[in-house]
Amino acid sequence: MSKLTHLDDTGAAHMVDVGDKKSNQRIAVAEATVQMQAETLKLILNDGLPKGDVLATARLAGIMAAKRTSDLIPLCHPLQITSVKIAIEQRGDTELRLTGTVKVNGQTGVEMEALTAVSIAALTIYDMAKAVDKGMIISQTRLLLKEGGKSGRFEAKAL
């Protein structure tokens, strides 16, 4: 098992020094799902909620969150992200699947940015629709793909 990189030799948390790493293209893709009542999903898809366009707002929230990840996760590096894309697709009558893709040309990866993006997008959907469905479930938040860097490619197994 490899050593945890955010702990020093004494076990204290620290920010990893990436100064000697080569910059290269890095990409990460994460997903999350939001389950809800069928009527709630219909309202979201038909812009039937009083707070406005839920999906557009969730996409924007996810993009903004990816850009602010280092403000939220204590040991993340601030990055010059080159691209953030949030895709939202309907699955059946009661579920939305969110996928966040983040790219950077840098010295460290963007896994946390992709995970933060889909998490905040999902929370935004919940916030905008909670008046009609407080029982929504946000789940299956996970990293799907990571490319670039010393550790190479990671691809999650299908659920």
Question: In the structure, what pLDDT confidence band is assigned to residue 23 with cuts at 50, 70 and 90?
Answer: confident
Q: How far apart are CA 25 and CA 72, in angstroms?
A: 23
In a domain, 144, yes or no: yes
In a domain, 156, yes or no: no
Q: Which residues pair with 105 in a beta bridge?
A: 25
Could you give the C-alpha distances from 141 to 34, 37, 83, in angstroms and in order? 10, 20, 20
The active-site residue out of 8, 20, 47, 127 is 127
Question: Is 127 labeled as catalytic in the residue annotation?
Answer: yes
pLDDT (tens digit, 9 = 90+) per residue, 39-78? 999 999 999 999 999 999 999 999 999 999 999 998 898 9
In a domain, 159, yes or no: no
CATH number at residue 41: 3.30.70.640
pLDDT (tens digit, 9 = 90+) per residue, 103-130? 999 888 899 999 999 999 999 999 999 9
In a domain, 108, yes or no: yes
In a domain, 30, yes or no: yes
Residue 78 tokens read as 């601030």
Burial degree of 50 (CB within 10 A; 0-12, 13-18, 19+):
exposed
In a domain, 41, yes or no: yes
Total number of domains in the chain: 1
Angle at CA of residue 46, ends 44 and 52, nearest 5°: 60
Instruction: Give the structural domain span for 47.
Output: 24-150
